[in-house]
Amino acid sequence: MERFTVNDIVFLVFFFLLFIGLALPMGRYQSRVYQGERNFLSALLHPVERFIYRLCGIDARKEMNWKGYVFAFLAFNGFGLIFLFLIQVCQGGLPLNPQKLPGVRWDLAINTAISFVTNTNWQSYGGETTMSYLTQMLGLTVQNFVSAAAGICPMLALARGFTNRGVENLGNFWVDLTRAVLYVLLPLSFVVSIILASQGVVQTLRPPVQATTLEGKAQTIAVGPVASQIAIKQLGSNGGGFFNVNSCHPFENPNQFTNFIETISILLLPVSLVFTFGYMLKKSRQGWAFFQASMILFVAGLILAILSEVGGNPILAKAGIAGGLNMEGKETRFGLINSVLWGQATTVTSNGSVNAMHDSMLPLTGLVYLFNMGIGEVIFGGVGVGMIGLVFYAILTMFIAGLMIGKTPELFGKKLGIFEMVMTVIALVGPAVFVLLFSALATITPFARSMLNNPSSHGLSEILYAYSSALGNNGSAFAGLNANNPFYNWTLGLGMLIGRFATILPAIAIAGVLSRKQTVFQTEATFPTTGPLFVGMLIAVIVVMGALTFLPVYALGPILEHLFMQSGKAF
């Protein structure tokens, strides 16, 4: 069985060096794109950009105040929600449906529409048996692009709020959206799609293949336009897979190389946007400070999860399995280390795709994944939104620092007032409160409890994971909970909306207030936000906030399950 070896250490070091090496130039490139500066794709794509503006009647020179930016954001998301709902319920009468799949049940359709519009990509269904090719391409894949781009836009508005002086304008939402899709998501997805297709990831519009097994039985093998969806699902922090088992499926993730490419894709844009934010502030060292805080938390969680899995299950050890290593739910094609690395990457970035079943991970590994989502997925986080979450925690950190030194808090040259603090508390505390409320409701509702596959502490972890995933706009699941029913479809759908808009709308509002303020010149009394003290305080605030909010329920879930496991009891 597998153990942690020197080769694993070499692989992890190479992995980190590669994705950091790719994220740095990508961060610089994106800052040029979003500030309208010339880049190496301008000659090819700028005429396309101008054509889109003319076609849609967009005046690229007209900027919006924060209320206009919010209205455009909500209108775009509202239209996407309605369109995606309708295409699902009507798919039985639409083309590109070689399996003759019927329309999607209404409660599942609204849940899925909310899921993909909010960039959560929670899936209560089996993709290959529920969604037609048209729904997968025109509905889900399109939302994978635009929901990711829509998440980047508020981060850009927030950056402008810090750099503007005495003005109300935060840029143009439609311009930001267009540039994110055209210059970033489409070119990257094209390259990754070609790589994946070359390795055997399916990309076809042909109907399912009818095959005969060695036993002489008939078998239907689902195929479809997979590679194009998988590329953007990883790059855009989406996670919604074409197949029910997501990236465990060999048609989505056939070998070690595709697994490596997809894991890199999960982290590339979230990490690069940390540097983009610093460049847009004209403070590249600030981007590095945020990167250091996120990387320390990322590595710490990864080490704990690896030690948990490598340490094994004492129940399995007593049963004669060498080392008690638990390979249940893990693909032997990828092994233990790649499974844990993917799980850590997908839960810190709100990606939500899986290459192993998280329900089968050992309890402390599940605790790490739950904590990643519980703190708002700010360890790099989803595209754009993760950086917004880091800024919220930075505002809270500076407020605490201000109390310690008796000085009005300020961040990146802007004074922080009551409004900014109220919006920050709403964004950080609101989703966490609803995770606990919805989880409590599910545990006291007999029907909701009947949907569990496991009792006791593990069953609580399954419920808690579902709502943490929904409110964190992650989309991954423990996979031990039957959530395709009206109760979970509605509560999880509502949770996804709260998690998305309770984070983004306060950020845009803060950007509008900051944009009208003048820059405060730094003095010797200014608390520096690029040094190790700030990084350490930021990490401490994130960890303490997460612990104060969730430690009691974690103690009843994964922590208690770990103690049960040590005493020889499993669920």
Please report which residue ranges of 516-531 form alpha helices under DSSP H: none
Is residue 420 predicted with pLDDT exceeding 80? yes
C-alpha to C-alpha distance for 383 and 545, rounded to whole angstroms: 22
pLDDT on residue 2: 53
pLDDT of residue 382: 87
b/e burial code for range 109-139 (CB count within 10 A of at least 16 → b): bbbbbbbbbbbbbbbbbebbebbbbbbbbbb
For residue 412, being part of any structural domain is answered with no
Position 454 in a domain: no
Answer yes or no: is 139 within a domain. Answer: yes
What are the two backbone dihedrals, phi and then psi, of residue 183, each rounded to the nearest 5 degrees?
-95, -20
Weakest-pLDDT range from 137-141, 518-522, 564-568 = 518-522
Q: Dihedral sign, CA of 399, 404, 410, 416?
A: positive
The pTM assigned to this predicted structure is 0.94
Q: Is residue 274 part of a domain?
A: no
Query: For residue 198, what are the CA distances in angstroms to 201, 246, 265, 338?
Result: 7, 19, 16, 21
Give the closest residue to 530 by CA, choosing from 337, 313, 288, 331.
288
Residues 233-257 have a mean pLDDT of 91
Q: List phi, psi (to 5°) of 389.
A: -60, -40
Q: Would you say residue 1 has pLDDT above 60?
A: no
209-212 and 218-221 strand pairing? antiparallel
Residue with more model confidence, 197 or 406: 197
CA distance 291 to 275: 8
* pLDDT of 126 above 50: yes
Task: Say if strands 209-212 and 410-411 run parallel, antiparallel, or are unpaired.
Answer: unpaired
Range of the structural domain that residue 184 is part of: 36-268
Residues 6+ apart with CB under 8 A from 183: 33, 39, 41, 45, 49
Which of 311-325, 361-375, 408-422, 463-477 has the lowest average pLDDT?
Answer: 311-325
Rg of the chain in Å (alpha carbons)? 23
The burial class, CB within 10 Å (0-12 / 13-18 / 19+), for 161 is buried
pLDDT at residue number 3: 65
- Neighbour count for residue 438 (Cβ, 10 Å): 24
Flag the least confident range among 22-26, 59-63, 135-139, 240-244: 240-244
| b/e 210-239 (16+ beta carbons within 10 angstroms → b) | eeeeeeeeeeeebbbbbbbbbbbbbbbbbb
**Sign of the CA dihedral 250, 256, 259, 265?**
negative
What's the mean pLDDT in 53-58? 95
User: pLDDT > 70: what percent of the chain?
Assistant: 99
pLDDT (tens digit per residue) in 434-489? 999 999 999 999 999 999 988 899 999 999 999 999 999 999 988 788 999 999 99
- Give the model's confidence band at 321: pLDDT under 50 very low, under 70 low, under 90 confident, else very high: confident
Quote the CA–CA distance of 274 and 287 in Å, as a whole number.
5
Smallest CA-to-CA distance from 178 within 351, 48, 28 is with 48
**Cα atoms in the 13 Å half-sphere on the side-chain side of 79:** 8
Burial 252-291 (b: 16+ CB within 10 A, else e): bbbeeebbbbbbbbbbbbbbbbbbbbbbbbebeebbbbbb
**Residues 179 and 33 sit within 8 Å (Cβ to Cβ):** yes
User: Which of the four pLDDT bands, split at 50, 70 and 90, describes residue 430?
Assistant: very high
Asked if 140 contacts 108 with a C-beta cutoff of 8 angstroms, the reply is no
547 inside domain: no
Tell me the mean pLDDT in the region 490-496: 96
Residues above pLDDT 90, as percent of the chain: 81
What 3-state DSSP class applies to 23? helix
State both tokens at 269: 């844009």
* Mean predicted lDDT score pLDDT of the chain: 93
Q: Which residues sit opposite 330 in a β-bridge? A: 356
Q: What is the dihedral of CA 182, 185, 187, 192, to 10 degrees?
A: -160
535 vs 525: which has the higher pLDDT: 535
Nearest to 433 by CA among 374, 348, 489, 367: 374
Tally: H helices and E strands in the chain: 22, 4
Pair of tokens at residue 467:
């709502």
Q: How far apart are CA 182 and CA 307, in angstroms?
A: 42
**Contact call for residues 156 and 183 (beta carbons, < 8 A):** no
Q: Is the pLDDT of residue 525 over 80?
A: no
Does pLDDT of 280 surpass 60?
yes
User: In the predicted model, is pLDDT for residue 571 greater than 80?
Assistant: no
- Looking at residue 49, its pLDDT comes to 96
Is position 461 within any domain?
no
Where does 35-141 have alpha helices with state H? 42-56, 66-89, 106-117, 127-130, 133-134
Q: Can you tell me which residue has the tokens 């301008």?
A: 42
- 504 by DSSP, 3-state: which? helix
For residue 310, CA distances in Å to 224, 364, 365, 368 come to 37, 12, 11, 15
Rounded CA gap, 57 and 534, in Å?
45
Least confident segment among 4-8, 29-33, 552-556: 4-8
Structural domain count, the chain: 1
445 is a domain residue: no
